């Protein structure tokens, strides 16, 4: 492409290629988002026709809220586990399923299936499995760990969330990793083979460096989904038992719509956004750095 030097030419090129996308993107996401931020400075309650500016009152109340902080820490823990497990499992699946084994299409389709169903319904199905099926198995085969419902115990209920999220997301990440594996040039691998590199060395020295872009995407997506998980949380544990598994999205949501403190909820959502943005920027920054070095 020739280089546009004049501003007007640049603008023309931009509008032709990216104009519609930019317009839709700003009107659907950025505009409501900014409007939402504006609402955090008001006494808007989600319903009334009029509202007053209240300054930082909502933010002050948001930070005074100790349960908000507790929920945040719990979410961090959840994000850590889901990101690690999802990516390790998805990577393993993708690795095995690109090694040319029999029935790999069948397995790929199978592992991806959880993504075919919406989160609310998945949560209901798993609730039934944890509270009925496993309890039945535990009682009939004398497996004490299953004899009472996992959803009734705060620690185990937390793990049900991790398990279901990993189960749901690993297939999605697997697809991205498979595309990454497919992009590792065959000649590079052959060259490594000829040099006598074993499977481990090939993985560390050839495959992983070539996979950095896929890893970046997957880490980013799992981080983002982890921080924002809502459907599964709602349908599986509802935050229970006794609010011990209320992750941040659900907390904010309840704050806005259940406690009907709309401004405070919106302010906390904005704080959540800032934190996630920070984490993501750091993650992408480091991944990109590795990409350059590799």
Partner 1 sequence: MKFKKTFTVFLTVLIMTLSLSGCSKSSTTNNSQTQTEKKQVKITVMNSKGEIQTQLEKMAKAFMNDNKDITVEVIPAPAGQSPFEKVSSLYSSGNAPTLSMLDPGDIVKFKDKAADLSSEKWINDSFDRSLDSAKVDGKVIGFPFAVEGYGFIYNKELLDKAYGGNFDASAVKTQKDLEEMFKKLEASGVGSIIVSPMDWSLGGHFLPLSYSTQSKSSDDVNKFIEDLKAGKVELAQNKQFKGLMATLDIMKKHNISKSSPLSGTYENGPEALATKKAAVWFMGNWAWPQIHELDAENNSYAFLPVPISNDAADYGNSEIPVGVTKYFILDKEQNSQEQQAAAKKFLEWIVYNQTGQDYLVNKANVIPAFKNITIESQDPLAKSIKKYMSKGKTLQFMVTLPSDHWSKNGASMQKFLDNKIDVNGLAKEIQEYWKNIK
Partner 2 sequence: MMKKKGSITSIIKFLFLGIFFLAYMVPFIFVLINSFKSKKEILLNPMALPSKINFTNFLTAFNKMDYVHGFTNSLIITVFSVLLIVVLSSMTAYILVRKKWKFNQAIFFVMVASMIIPFQAIMIPLVRIYGSIGMLNSKWALIYMYIGFGTSLAVFMFHGFIKSIPLELEEAAMIDGAKGMQLFYLIVFPLLKPIAMTIAILDVLWIWNDFLLPSLVLIAPEQRTLPLSTFYFYGTYTADYGLSMAGLILTIIPVIIIYLILQKYIINGVLQGSIK
Number of residues interacting with partner 2: please give it, by CB under 8 A.
91
**What residues are paired with 53 via a beta bridge?**
42
Report the SS3 class of residue 119: helix
Q: Is 224 in contact with 111 (CB distance < 8 Å)?
A: no
What binding mask, one character per residue, do residues 159-178 give for partner 1 by CB under 8 A, x or -? Answer: --------------------
Which of residues 7 and 242 has its CB atom nearest to partner 1 in the complex?
A: 242
Q: Which does 133 bind (CB under 5 to 8 A by kind): partner 2, partner 1, none?
A: partner 2
Residue selected from 55, 67, 128, 204 as contacting partner 2 according to rule CB under 8 A: 128
With CA atoms as reference, report the closest residue to 248 among 72, 80, 83, 120. Answer: 72
Q: How many Å apart are CA 285 and CA 273, to the nearest integer?
A: 18
> If binding is defined by CB under 8 A, does position 237 make contact with partner 2?
no
Count Cβ atoms below 10 Å from residue 29 Cβ, excluding itself. 10
> If binding is defined by CB under 8 A, does position 117 make contact with partner 2?
yes
Number of residues interacting with partner 1: please give it, by CB under 8 A.
26
**Residue 61 in tokens:** 């109340």
Residue selected from 54, 176, 203, 290 as contacting partner 2 according to rule CB under 8 A: 176
> If binding is defined by CB under 8 A, does position 101 make contact with partner 2?
yes
> If binding is defined by CB under 8 A, does position 46 make contact with partner 1?
yes
Question: 139-172 burial string, b = 16+ CB within 10 Å, else e?
Answer: eeeeeeebeebbbeeeebbbebbbbbbbbbbbbb
> If binding is defined by CB under 8 A, does position 258 make contact with partner 2?
no
Measured in degrees and rounded to the nearest 5, phi and psi for residue 230 equal: -140, -55
DSSP 8-state class, residue 53: B
Q: How many Å apart are CA 165 and CA 167, to the nearest integer?
A: 5
> If binding is defined by CB under 8 A, does position 39 make contact with partner 2?
yes
Q: What is the dihedral sign for C-alpha 183, 185, 189, 190?
A: positive
- Footprint on residues 199-258 left by partner 1 (CB under 8 A): 234-235, 238, 240-243, 254, 257-258
With CA atoms as reference, report the closest residue to 41 among 23, 25, 22, 54. Answer: 54
Which of residues 152 and 281 has its CB atom nearest to partner 2 in the complex?
A: 281
Residue selected from 13, 43, 115, 148 as contacting partner 1 according to rule CB under 8 A: 148
Q: Which does 276 bind (CB under 5 to 8 A by kind): partner 1, partner 2, none?
A: partner 2
Q: Which does 151 bind (CB under 5 to 8 A by kind): partner 2, partner 1, none?
A: partner 1
Q: Which residues bind partner 1 (CB under 8 A)?
A: 45-49, 120, 127, 131, 135, 148-149, 151-153, 234-235, 238, 240-243, 254, 257-260
């Amino acid at each position: 492409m020739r280089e546009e030097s004049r501003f007007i030419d640049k603008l023309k090129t931009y509008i032709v290629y990216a104009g519609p996308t930019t317009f839709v993107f700003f009107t659907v996401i950025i505009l409501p988002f900014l409007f939402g931020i504006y609402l955090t400075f008001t006494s808007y309650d989600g319903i009334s026709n009029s509202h007053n500016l209240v300054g930082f009152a909502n933010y002050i109340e948001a930070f005074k809220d100790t349960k908000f902080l507790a929920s945040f820490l719990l979410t961090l823990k959840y994000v850590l586990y889901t990101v690690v497990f999802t990516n390790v499992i998805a990577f393993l699946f993708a690795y095995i399923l690109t090694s040319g084994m029999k029935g790999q299409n069948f397995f790929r389709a199978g592992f991806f299936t959880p993504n075919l169903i919406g989160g609310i319904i998945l949560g209901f199905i798993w609730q039934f499995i944890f509270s009925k099926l496993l309890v039945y198995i535990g009682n009939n085969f004398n497996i004490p760990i299953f004899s009472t419902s996992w959803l009734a115990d705060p620690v185990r209920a937390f793990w049900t969330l991790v398990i279901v999220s990993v189960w749901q997301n690993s297939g999605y990440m697997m697809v991205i990793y498979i595309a990454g594996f497919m992009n590792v040039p065959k000649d590079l691998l052959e060259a490594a083979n000829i040099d006598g590199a074993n499977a481990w060395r090939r993985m560390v020295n050839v495959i992983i460096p070539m996979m950095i872009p896929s890893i970046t995407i997957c880490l980013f997506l799992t981080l983002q989904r982890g921080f924002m998980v809502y459907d599964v949380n709602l349908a599986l544990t509802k935050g229970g038992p006794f609010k011990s598994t209320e992750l941040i999205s659900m907390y904010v949501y309840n704050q806005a719509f259940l406690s009907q403190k709309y401004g405070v909820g919106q302010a906390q959502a904005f704080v959540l956004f800032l934190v996630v943005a920070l984490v993501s920027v750091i993650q992408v920054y480091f991944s990109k750095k590795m990409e350059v070095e590799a």
